[in-house]
Amino acid sequence: MASTMVAAVFQGDGRLSIIERPVPFITPADVLIEVEACGVCGTDIHVLEVPPAHPAFPGVIMGHEFVGIVRAVGPDAIGVEIGQRVAVAANLSCGSCSSCKRGNPNHCEHFTTMGIFRDGGLARFVAAPASACHVVSKDIPREIAALTEPLSCVVNGVEQAHLLPGEAVAVIGAGPVGLLFLSLFRAAGAGLVVVVEPTELRRDAAKRMGADVCLDPSQGDPARAVRDVTSGAGADVVVDAVGDQLSQALSAVRVGGRVLLFGMNSRAWPSIHQYDITRNELTVVGAYVGSNVFPKAARILASGLVDLSPMISHRVSLEDLPSALDAIRQGKAVKVVVDLMAGS
């Protein structure tokens, strides 16, 4: 095995460099993974903004949506074997704080994330805690298997939406997260799925992934349009997959319906009419990353229940990552997956 590797390293102030880094050493409880593929997340784009919309440590190897093959295991690594294919739950918890003991590891007091605060998967090799590794089927294409991590986060959200078969759903935002919601709601038996998205490229992806109605918010009031296609009632469930669409979500949901807030925007301070929430007996719930649902996400992908391939617009090498990031910023990409095995 070589002693160095090429990696995508965050340099601070919006800068990303593709440079040589040493192949990581593993601690006794770690495994060494040869990365097959790594997705680019909206959080990565936020980290690279100036000023940053999400914190990260300068010098860190980015990438938290990855899959690969275990090549070495530490003496204390339990439950993982050399040669297994694993996806990694990159949001790491301590397991011993009060939140972890309550069953809420996604709110761990010592919460950290690979690819943001410790080295991640945009490199040929990555060291990861064995406890965060989940075996995934080798039959799944690597670019799809890399989506296990974001899918797990959306599984958490879907579970909190309490969808009943036949109900109508509106998803605001058809970025990668919104498209994952669309796929899972469709698979869970939604009777009608409406997507609200201003970008034609993303609306087209939503149509290919099973959306019944795709609305362009620039062409009229999307909340009224949602009501029009639900016989005036509004959707049973509305998801804000953007992070600043609470007001629209409240306008599009039916009396007694549920609003799920999933997208995150720390700069958004929406003004809402609280009276409407009370008078219409609405349930508004937030969902933050995944909580003990990673194995479920892996099973969903292995089952073939959802087809996520239409959302992947770009499959690129690590060296081509900077141009792919530009495509995301320009609205010319939906989901970018970096193939770390390209050319091998």
- Residues known to be catalytic: 43, 46
Tokens for 183?
Answer: 């796929």
Angle at 190 between CA 184 and CA 192, to 5 degrees: 120
Beta strand 168-172 pairing with 192-196: parallel
Angle at 130 between CA 34 and CA 104, to 5 degrees: 125
User: Nearest CA to 156 among 288, 316, 317, 254?
Assistant: 288
> Within 10 A of 50 (CB to CB), how many other CB atoms are there?
9
Residue 94 backbone dihedrals phi, psi, to 5 degrees: -85, -30
Q: What letter would DSSP give residue 129?
A: E
Residue 287 to residue 76: CA distance in whole angstroms:
33
Tokens for 315?
Answer: 């499959």
Tokens for 179?
Answer: 């498209």
Residue appearing with tokens 């690979």: 114
Tokens for 45?
Answer: 């784009």
